[in-house]
Chain A
Amino acid sequence: MYVAVKGGEAAIEASRTLLAASRRGDRTLPQIEVAQIEQQLGLAVDRVMGEASLYDRELAALAIKQAQGDLQEAAFLLRAFRTTLPRFGASLPIDTACMTIARRISAIYKDLPGGQVLGPTVDYTHRLLDFSLITNEEPPCVPFADAPLATDMPRATAALEAEGLLTSEPDDGRTPPDLTREPLMFPASRAVRLQALARGDEGFLLAMGYSTQRGYGGTHPFAAEIRYGTVTVEIVSEELGFPVEIGDIVVTECQMVNQFKGSKTEPPQFTRGYGLVFGHAERRAMGMALVDRALQARELGEDVVAPAQDEEFVLSHADHVEASGFVQHLKLPHYVDFQSELELIRSLRAEAAARAETALKAAE
């Protein structure tokens, strides 16, 4: 007699062993080092850190190795680790105006203080496969610049703000809520929305942002500035009472400037969509900025008609750890519920057949 899924324990153990073997692959090849992932798959590391909300390059690289390069799975691994970490406090807000710039571009000015800094970008590479990478040819070394970059590189939006043409968004001094420690409730504050977007699935942010460009909640965006580089993180320790630097992180910031006609209470001015993410992740920061702006529809008195403007829709579906878990939970056994549906559909069919027969007899 067949009995369903006996010996689950042994099967699970064997499956784990098989998984480890399949991760290892061909044992005649050397194992990939976590440090190599960290160095040579840096953009994957950045994405995993962003979606896990944990800045730790080494652990992100480890997660990528463990997940066999499945970046969503890697972000999940890193989040499950993050959730066990104690909280020591909150840092001061980082100041991206004081960033050590690696790249900075503005699409709204031909030139601006500090200049356009192209930095490392795939934007102008021709997307031709580089076969020299198969043979591990070393790329040329980078020459040092004649002079360092300007240390003072104001954000491209500063001039618009000074002129009053861009919505000013002063610090209200409130401690932002922590989405990972408080339930997400609607309507959500912008601080909560930005947190949710910052850790949201990059593909989802991209698709939602893209949809606004195609007319589903259009916001007329201009990329005022995209910058990436290193910023210093500071905390105020209770014992010392003054800020202490605890380290540097790499972030990408995108500020979109969007058209807004003005309302009864506000004169015409541009509005802002904001994206800030860990590491070098321009696509992610830009998607975030587009969606952030679309989600301001309610506050700005715009009609909420498109998916990207619907905060409950966007925030409830932006998280791939939740989405992936729930989609894949369909793999779990559901035979008890399926059985009750089977019984139901059989009895409905029997009833329908009986009714048809009665009707036929009545007609005769």
Chain B
Amino acid sequence: MNNTSYTFAYLDEQTKREIRRALLKGLAIPGHQVPFASREMPLARGWGTGGMQVTAAVIGRNDVLKVIDQGADDTTNAVSIRQFFSRVAGVRTTTRTEEATLIQTRHRIPETPLRPGQIMVYQVPQPEPLWRLEPSRAETRRLHALAEYGLMHVKLYEDIAQHGRITLAYDYPVLVHGRYVMAPSPIPAFDNPKLHRSPAIHLFGAGREKRIYAVPPYTDVISLAFEDHPFRPWKAEAACALCGSTESYLDEILIDDRGTRRYICSDTDWCERRRTGGKTA
């Protein structure tokens, strides 16, 4: 057996059509999880197969693709997925957020504001925001149908009773277009506000759990909270050791075995642009 030649963007056309239909319905019902068959991909389940299938169904020859994991272009899985699409779709890739037409991400939304014409594709491990409260997906489907989100509010309220505040730090649930509670994927809560009335298109793919959902541009995406306990995202109160930024999301780095730490931007492109004064390095 020789290497088989794969079709453009790996997926067969019938699979792309199914995903494309699901994406259009997803945009029409913001935040609602649309089931799809989810093909086996040449990457392990849980490693971005949902995001990859969405990207494969969306990508065209003229796209410029950026892939990030933890905000960084050079993390190993981002490198691996970027290589995959350069190989099977032959597209141009970039690390520059503003150059990209398509950005596949795991766990971050870039700091550089998104613009119309850009599409974000999120890798989603767990599309069901209610899963910790109700493990049965047959039951959570019913709860979404009824817009019965009392469980979630009780959970958040118990947090406040016990800790004095809501203790969700990432994958912080949001209410989309006033109707569906949605998992924004494990982005830090810090990134949630970037989804609210964003000018870009946001597409979410959960390969293992076989769900697709979407947030169109300029759509209300509100992080769940209470009037007396408003949404408060956290970030390290520090400045980036490389670029000095205080407004970006920072990663903590240990620099010795005595626990000395420093902070650097999680968004590597943003950090680099700041250091080079906006010029490409």
Q: A325 touching B44 by the CB < 8 A rule?
A: yes
The distance from the CB of B124 to the nearest CB of chain A, in whole angstroms, is 12
- Docked complex: A38-94 residues within 8 A CB-CB of B: 58-59, 62, 76, 79-84, 86
Q: A150 an interface residue at 8 Å Cβ cutoff?
A: no
- Docked complex: B242-281 residues within 8 A CB-CB of A: 242, 249-253, 255, 262, 264, 266
- Write out, one digit per residue, whether chain B residues 46-75 have a CB within 8 A of any chain A CB (1) or not (0): 110100000000000000000001111011
Measured CA separation A240–B154 after assembly (Å): 64
Q: A328 touching B44 by the CB < 8 A rule?
A: yes
Measured CA separation A130–B57 after assembly (Å): 54
- Write out, one digit per residue, whether chain A residues 332-347 have a CB within 8 A of any chain B CB (1) or not (0): 1111110111111001
Q: A329 touching B46 by the CB < 8 A rule?
A: yes
> Which residues does chain A contribute within 8 Å of B249, judged by CB atoms?
336, 339
Measured CA separation A4–B253 after assembly (Å): 8
Measured CA separation A251–B188 after assembly (Å): 50
Q: A83 touching B39 by the CB < 8 A rule?
A: yes
Partner of A336, one of B47, B164, B188: B188
Q: A264 an interface residue at 8 Å Cβ cutoff?
A: no
- Docked complex: A308-340 residues within 8 A CB-CB of B: 312, 316, 321-322, 324-329, 332-337, 339-340
Measured CA separation A347–B165 after assembly (Å): 11
> Which residues does chain A contribute within 8 Å of B170, judged by CB atoms?
336-337, 340-341
Q: A322 touching B45 by the CB < 8 A rule?
A: yes
> Which residues does chain A contribute within 8 Å of B41, judged by CB atoms?
80, 83
Q: B108 an interface residue at 8 Å Cβ cutoff?
A: yes
Across the interface, name the chain B residue whose C-beta is closest to A81.
Answer: B4
Q: Which of A96-104, A176-184, A208-216 contacts B (4 or more CB under 8 A)?
A: A176-184
Q: Which of A7-15, A23-31, A108-116, A153-161 contacts B (4 or more CB under 8 A)?
A: A7-15
The distance from the CB of A348 to the nearest CB of chain B, in whole angstroms, is 6
Q: B45 touching A321 by the CB < 8 A rule?
A: yes
Q: A131 an interface residue at 8 Å Cβ cutoff?
A: no
Tell whether A4 pairs with B251 under 8 Å between CB atoms, given A325-B208, A334-B107.
yes
Partner of A5, one of B12, B74, B190, B241: B74
Q: B36 an interface residue at 8 Å Cβ cutoff?
A: yes
> Which residues does chain A contribute within 8 Å of B242, judged by CB atoms?
1
Q: B6 touching A84 by the CB < 8 A rule?
A: yes
Q: B118 an interface residue at 8 Å Cβ cutoff?
A: no
Q: A127 an interface residue at 8 Å Cβ cutoff?
A: no
- Write out, one digit per residue, whether chain B residues 162-196 have a CB within 8 A of any chain A CB (1) or not (0): 01110101110000000000000011111000000
* Total A-B residue contacts, Cβ distance less than 8 Å: 158
The distance from the CB of B18 to the nearest CB of chain A, in whole angstroms, is 8
Tell whether A79 pairs with B36 under 8 Å between CB atoms, given A312-B136, A312-B137, A322-B45.
no
Q: A79 touching B1 by the CB < 8 A rule?
A: no
Q: A340 touching B74 by the CB < 8 A rule?
A: no
Measured CA separation A4–B190 after assembly (Å): 21
Q: B98 an interface residue at 8 Å Cβ cutoff?
A: no
- Write out, one digit per residue, whether chain A residues 147-188 have a CB within 8 A of any chain B CB (1) or not (0): 000000000000000000000000000000000111111110
Tell whether A329 pairs with B125 under 8 Å between CB atoms, given A186-B137, A336-B266.
yes
Q: B169 touching A336 by the CB < 8 A rule?
A: no
> Which residues does chain A contribute within 8 Å of B12, judged by CB atoms?
84, 86
Partner of B38, one of A59, A183, A187: A183
Q: A336 touching B108 by the CB < 8 A rule?
A: yes
> Which residues does chain A contribute within 8 Å of B165, judged by CB atoms?
348, 351
Partner of B46, one of A5, A184, A325: A325
Partner of B208, one of A9, A80, A322, A333: A322
The distance from the CB of A186 to the nearest CB of chain B, in whole angstroms, is 4
Q: A3 an interface residue at 8 Å Cβ cutoff?
A: yes
> Which residues does chain B contribute within 8 Å of A332, judged by CB atoms?
47, 69, 77, 106
Q: A2 an interface residue at 8 Å Cβ cutoff?
A: yes
Q: A261 an interface residue at 8 Å Cβ cutoff?
A: no
Q: A59 touching B138 by the CB < 8 A rule?
A: no
Tell whether A79 pairs with B40 under 8 Å between CB atoms, given A325-B208, A337-B188, A343-B236.
yes
Q: A6 an interface residue at 8 Å Cβ cutoff?
A: yes
Partner of B75, one of A5, A58, A82, A187: A5
Measured CA separation A251–B75 after assembly (Å): 44
The distance from the CB of B152 to the nearest CB of chain A, in whole angstroms, is 18
Measured CA separation A187–B107 after assembly (Å): 32
The distance from the CB of B36 to the nearest CB of chain A, in whole angstroms, is 6
Q: A62 touching B40 by the CB < 8 A rule?
A: no
The 7 closest A-B pairs by CB, nearest first: A325-B45, A329-B46, A325-B44, A340-B169, A326-B46, A183-B35, A8-B79
Q: List 15 interface pairs A-B (beta carbons < 8 Å), by A numbering.
A: A1-B242, A3-B264, A4-B75, A181-B37, A183-B210, A322-B208, A327-B46, A328-B44, A333-B69, A334-B107, A335-B70, A335-B252, A336-B170, A339-B249, A339-B266
Residues of B within 8 A of A (CB): 1, 4, 6-7, 10, 12, 35-42, 44-47, 49, 69-72, 74-80, 83, 106-108, 125, 136-138, 163-165, 167, 169-171, 186-190, 208, 210, 234-236, 241-242, 249-253, 255, 262, 264, 266
Residues of A within 8 A of B (CB): 1-9, 11-12, 58-59, 62, 76, 79-84, 86, 180-187, 312, 316, 321-322, 324-329, 332-337, 339-344, 347-348, 351
Known: A322-B208, A325-B49, A341-B170. 11 other contacts (CB 8 A): A11-B76, A80-B41, A83-B39, A186-B137, A312-B138, A324-B45, A326-B125, A332-B69, A337-B107, A340-B170, A344-B169
